[in-house]
A and B are shown apart, each in its own frame.
Chain A
Amino acid sequence: SDDLIWQIINNSFCSFMTKTKTSKFCRNEYNLTGLCNRHSCPLANSQYATVREEDGVIYLYMKVAERAHLPAKMWERVKLHRNYERAIGQIKEKLIYWNNWIRRRVIARFDRLLEVQKRSRRLVLTSETKLVPLSRKVERRERRREDKALVRAGLETAIEKEMLDRLRAANPEEFVNVDRAAYEKALQAVEVEDEEDDEESEEEEEDESESETEYVEDFDESEEEIEDIQEQQEEGEEEEPPVRQKLTLSSRGAAAIAPPRKRAKVTVEYDSD
């Protein structure tokens, strides 16, 4: 009867059989080797055994001719022991007097399944990236809200305001509103010294050693924006600035940074209080 089954499914049609160019595979889940062979076919052998893993537990499945007429109870399942030696002992005990080929193949398959289990558990431990699904709607929503928040933030204004507050707190004397016209008048009485152009140094250590606060006139106030910061700091200006007058006040404790000094320098010395 086994031979009959084999003749039929081998020659005409077997739904579990898959052919490639070189070999024939059997997709039946109870197949011991995975190949489509006379020995390996679970349908064409009334006495057959396999090992399979179900949810991390490895079982020994056995099928005998006595139950061939009871398809629902055909496969007997034995849970194999977690201890390797005892599991092998179980297999050998259950398959005693069975076909040698089947016994060896079952043990080989059992070893392979254990290896697979070990490898997949190690992989889970070492893999650190967890794939997290992104919800498109949520991403879109967050993006939109971020854009609106950005508009609301008014960053440049906020930063400028906060920095001015800090600077005011650190150097309050600088923020006194000085009547420039009055200063200039007073300065006309004083000698004007010529001074060569200084290059602005980027290193702050030099600037820190001076304990002077210097007021220097600026060129254009708000139009001249940021492109000129670097030029101002590094090179001299090429345009002709108005005659720049410099007041030197000595004061305590102000971190002074010398803006570029040009042309005329007027020095008025005040005593520190």
Chain B
Amino acid sequence: AQTKTMPNKNKSAVNASNSGPPRPDSNDNKKQKTNKKPKKDDASSIVGLKQRLSSIRNKQRRQAAYQQVRQAERKAKEAAVKLRRRNGADNGAAGPAKEPHTLESLRLPDATMTGPAGDAEVDAEEAADEFADILDAAGAGGEGQARLPRLLVTHADEVGRRTAAFCRCLARTVPNAVFCRRRRLPLGRVLAAAKAKEFTAVMIIGEHDKKPCTALLTHLPAGPTFAFRLSSVRLPRELPRPPEDDKPETVAPQVLCNRFHTRLGRRVARGLAAIFPGASGVRRHARVVTFHNQRDYVFFRHHRYILRQPGSGAKPGAKPRCALQEVGPRFTLKLRSLQTGPLGAGGGYEWLHKRHEMDQSRRRFFL
């Protein structure tokens, strides 16, 4: 009869995986190394250990060895967490409380990122760029005459109802904006007409499968051209709490551009903000338009805000709050390219998204 016992070689492995601490095995000196518990704080030694274990040819033994290492690691980690929790966040013995890793914390540092202290060089450049007369003049204590932005919103040929509705909505959100149907006009004529009627920017919404999918923003007369991918478009009636009224707004909104860190990001932020007139002051209740950049996705939101001071019945520690009501459309932009000069001038690309070169790391962001 054939013996169904397992051959000698694997016995120890089986035993090791079942029982607790493994018995020393004379055949395999690599296995002896796993008998020692790996050091808790020496991560590199564990890595080195794992690398040595990877040369065990026998799969069962190898897996068993790995399992022990992992178990030991896990135990060490649990012990550390327990210690940390018991002693509070600043327990020196187990190390300080660690912030969980996020893409934002692990982001590859970009040479062009401006720190919180600001950058004189960047500020000087921005004072001289195409948007300075719209954005910066207003804030200069009213000395210079700020150029009033005027946006023309249009779309590609033969566009569906939803895209047209979105364009109309945009024109209502942006002060001093006008929506015009395209009617198969060649772009050259559109731009020429815009220049003649003194528009400062033209926004062209493109469509795919009856949904708006691209946004092309050109500043006139000399401005750069931004090409965005447009997604997640929600019209006001599609919001979770649609605003009941449709009053046209009389006051220029506050414009927030959040989390634009790099030089390119700042340029994009200024290019987007330059569609809106510079707000002369912060009112207690008004509108706010937000361009929030997260991982290169620029989220657009449009809210009415009101400052709420805590009343007398409030708890002693109550803080003033800013209540928001979402009003306008929602959409998300992702920058595809940035060209100098207005549309049609054939300007060079300041930045062009090249997937194969630029998307190689998940931790790299450009805005």
Instruction: Tell whether A167 pairs with B208 under 8 Å between CB atoms, given A158-B258, A160-B321.
Output: no
Q: A155, B292: Cβ atoms under 8 Å?
A: yes
Q: A170, B282: Cβ atoms under 8 Å?
A: yes
Binds B, one of A58-66, A68-76, A218-226: A218-226
Residue A188, interface by CB 8 Å: no
Q: A167, B232: Cβ atoms under 8 Å?
A: no
CA distance A82 to B195 in the complex (A): 40
Binds A, one of B23-31, B34-42, B312-320: B312-320
Give the contacting residue for B256; candidates A128, A138, A163, A202; CB below 8 A.
Answer: A163
What's the tally of chain B residues with a CB closer than 8 Å to chain A?
A: 57
Residues of A within 8 Å of B247, CB to CB, are 202
Q: A166, B254: Cβ atoms under 8 Å?
A: yes
Give the contacting residue for A229; candidates B295, B299, B325; CB below 8 A.
Answer: B325
Q: A129, B312: Cβ atoms under 8 Å?
A: no
Residues of A within 8 Å of B104, CB to CB, are 152
Query: Nearest Cβ in chain B — how far from A94, in angstroms?
Result: 42
Q: A152, B290: Cβ atoms under 8 Å?
A: no
Near B by CB (< 8 A), chain A positions 243-260 give 255-257
Q: A150, B294: Cβ atoms under 8 Å?
A: yes
Q: A255, B284: Cβ atoms under 8 Å?
A: yes
Give the contacting residue for B157; candidates A129, A143, A170, A175; CB below 8 A.
Answer: A129
Near A by CB (< 8 A), chain B positions 300-325 give 301, 303-314, 318, 320-325
Q: Scan A165-178; emit 1 where CB is below 8 A from any B CB, else 0.
A: 01101110011000
Q: A229, B323: Cβ atoms under 8 Å?
A: yes
Closest residue of chain A to B295 (Cβ to Cβ) is A149
Residue B283, interface by CB 8 Å: yes
Instruction: Tell whether A180 pairs with B312 under 8 Å between CB atoms, given A146-B232, A170-B281.
Output: yes
Q: A143, B321: Cβ atoms under 8 Å?
A: no
Give the contacting residue for B290; candidates A138, A155, A174; CB below 8 A.
Answer: A155
CA distance A75 to B285 in the complex (A): 84
Give the contacting residue for A162; candidates B157, B256, B286, B313; CB below 8 A.
Answer: B256
Closest residue of chain B to A145 (Cβ to Cβ) is B295
Q: B281, A255: Cβ atoms under 8 Å?
A: yes
Residue B334, interface by CB 8 Å: yes
Residue A164, interface by CB 8 Å: yes
Q: A218, B295: Cβ atoms under 8 Å?
A: no
CA distance A202 to B281 in the complex (A): 17
Q: B320, A164: Cβ atoms under 8 Å?
A: yes
Residues of A within 8 Å of B357, CB to CB, are none
Residue B84, interface by CB 8 Å: no
CA distance A146 to B334 in the complex (A): 9
Instruction: Tell whether A255 pairs with B232 under 8 Å between CB atoms, given A152-B102, A174-B320.
Output: no
Residues of A within 8 Å of B208, CB to CB, are 134
Residue A199, interface by CB 8 Å: no
Q: A159, B301: Cβ atoms under 8 Å?
A: yes
Residues of B within 8 Å of A146, CB to CB, are 231-232, 297, 332, 334
Q: B231, A143: Cβ atoms under 8 Å?
A: yes
Residues of B within 8 Å of A84, CB to CB, are none
Residues of A within 8 Å of B296, CB to CB, are 149
Residue B245, interface by CB 8 Å: yes
Query: Nearest Cβ in chain A — how far from B361, in angstroms?
Result: 13
Instruction: Tell whether A257 pairs with B285 under 8 Å between CB atoms, given A155-B292, A159-B256, A204-B251.
Output: yes
Near A by CB (< 8 A), chain B positions 147-176 give 156-157
Residue A126, interface by CB 8 Å: yes
Residue A240, interface by CB 8 Å: no
Closest residue of chain B to A226 (Cβ to Cβ) is B325
Q: B324, A226: Cβ atoms under 8 Å?
A: yes
Residue A237, interface by CB 8 Å: no
List residues of A whose CB falls within 8 A of some B CB.
Answer: 126, 128-129, 134, 138, 142-143, 145-146, 148-150, 152-153, 155-156, 158-160, 162-164, 166-167, 169-171, 174-175, 180-181, 184, 202-204, 215, 217-222, 225-227, 229-230, 233, 242, 255-257
List residues of B whose CB falls within 8 A of some A CB.
Answer: 102-104, 156-157, 186-187, 208, 229, 231-232, 241, 244-245, 247, 250-251, 254, 256, 258, 281-286, 288, 290, 292, 294-297, 299, 301, 303-314, 318, 320-325, 332, 334, 355
